[in-house]
Amino acid sequence: MKKLLLTATALAASIALAHPALAAPGDPVKLGGGLSLDPIVDMRLRYEAVDQPATDADAVTLRVRAGAELKHKSGLSLLAEAEGTIGVLNDYNAFPFAIVDSQRRPAFSVVADPMNVELNRLQLQYKSKPFTATVGRQRINLDDQRFVGSVGWRQNEQTFDAVRAEAALGPVSLDATYAISQRTIFGVDAGPRTEFEGDFVFLGAAAKVGPVQVKAFSYLLDFDAKEQAGALATTNADTQTWGARATGAFKLAPKTTLNLAASYARQSDYQDNPASYDVDYIAAEAGLAFGSFGVMAGYEKLGSNGTRAVQTPMATMHKFNGWADLFLTTPAAGIEDWYGGVSYKFAQVKALPGLNAAVTYHRYNSDFGSVHYGDEWNASLGFKLKRVSILAKYADYDAAGFGVDTRKFWLQLEMSY
């Protein structure tokens, strides 16, 4: 396995170093008549190791996205993109749910990167300075992706079949989406979890108030009844969430910046949800950057009434509550995540452009009942060689009242143009 990983890593790096033109961003090809064609190529090679008490996993996967965007000077464009993932080393369970498929390997720990080939995006878009409209299968990342995101960390990203409109009206920006399908990270071979259909509405209105950006938002999730019958990870998936978010950056000195972010939302039952409840979502984070050094601390609460908790089934959840991914579905008692970390950018290391490192600590408790779930350390190191981005990450979850001890390690090379 180690020889295979080293060989694949050396091959990807040598291609990028020996042929930089292949890795450089490609300029659009002018076709005449105001038309241009912009190629899309994105490749990611990754090794992921998982260590748990009863099982473990070793996965080497290669993901390639390829397509093109045809643009007209009027602002109209048509984008088509395919996505394929192959498993070079398959000692992992690609499907963490019951399904009859050769990639369902419960003897191994979960690495949610199934092998597949599928249509990732197919969208028609009109874009001008004050207005953008997008129709079709598309990538949607809203705010910090806590409620809606593309789950970009996994090899197969999440997309939506949707109509989206964005408008800028002076100091106010508006964003409205109606989606009929959530295309999951598990791909075309995931049976009932390939996609979740329904009526989904994402609304947002934002404005700049001095140095602070303020936004009000609403997420209305109405899954089809058949989806509620067992394919979804939670029975209270039909929810309505109303809230607000504020972010701001404050220059304290020439090389010192204070970054603040805060969110509050109220989530309750909606449409066919069998329960009746109201629970709170609260998040606050402060970060201080002193030149190349950064420090941050934060708190996030996914509230619970004891039986129902805040759920975010369309989020990029790897960004939240630790990289070990123990809390992809919020426990019924909710979760409180206290966290803090430090980071540093090594600008003086010229041989490794963009070299940066970060360490974060999380302490998890239940919102209801004050149960200590566990503690987690996350660490990352990244840099670039030519156009190849190289990233190493590590997660160490120490279980107390939830889940099992889990350690994960990733080594990743990525190139796009």
Tens digits of residue pLDDT in 62-104: 999 999 999 999 999 999 999 999 999 999 999 999 999 999 9
pLDDT at residue 28, rounded to an integer:
84
Residues found in the chain: 417
pLDDT 10s digits, 199-239 = 999 999 999 999 999 999 999 999 997 655 556 766 678 99
Whether the pLDDT of residue 320 is over 70: the answer is yes
Whether the pLDDT of residue 26 is over 70: the answer is no
Whether the pLDDT of residue 7 is over 80: the answer is no
133, 164 Cβ separation under 8 angstroms: yes
Interval 392-411 mean pLDDT: 98
Whether the pLDDT of residue 61 is over 90: the answer is yes
Whether the pLDDT of residue 150 is over 60: the answer is yes
Pick from 48, 46, 45: nearest CA to 324 = 48
What residues are paired with 360 via a beta bridge? 341, 378
Q: How far is the C-alpha of 18 from the C-alpha of 9, rounded, in Å?
A: 14
pLDDT 10s digits, 369-392 = 999 999 999 999 999 998 899 999
Interval 144-171 mean pLDDT: 97
Whether the pLDDT of residue 10 is over 50: the answer is no
Q: Superfamily assignment of 2-416 in CATH?
A: Porin (2.40.160.10)
> Which has more pLDDT, 386 or 265?
265
Pick from 365, 266, 269: nearest CA to 308 = 269
Long-range contacts of 242-245 (CB under 8 A, 24+ apart): 242/217, 242/218, 242/266, 243/216, 243/217, 243/218, 243/281, 244/214, 244/215, 244/216, 244/217, 245/143, 245/144, 245/214, 245/215, 245/217
Least confident of 9-23, 190-204, 244-258: 9-23
Whether the pLDDT of residue 401 is over 80: the answer is yes
Interval 35-48 mean pLDDT: 96
Strands 35-51 and 239-253: unpaired
- Residue 163: how many other CB atoms lie within 10 Å: 15
Least confident of 1-10, 169-178, 200-209: 1-10
Whether the pLDDT of residue 354 is over 90: the answer is yes
Interval 135-152 mean pLDDT: 98
Q: pTM value?
A: 0.91
Q: What is the 3-state secondary structure (H, E, C) of 227-280?
A: HHCCCCCCCCCCEEEEEEEEEEEEEEECCEEEEEEEEEEEEEECCCCCCCCEEE
User: Is 209 in a helix, a strand, or coil?
Assistant: strand
pLDDT at residue 225, rounded to an integer:
76
pLDDT at residue 258, rounded to an integer:
97
Whether the pLDDT of residue 311 is over 70: the answer is yes
For 275, half-sphere exposure in the C-beta direction (CA atoms, 13 angstrom radius) is 22
pLDDT at residue 417, rounded to an integer:
81
pLDDT at residue 9, rounded to an integer:
37
User: How confident is residue 27, by pLDDT bands cut at 50, 70 and 90?
Assistant: confident
pLDDT at residue 228, rounded to an integer:
53
Q: What does the mean pLDDT of the chain come to?
A: 92
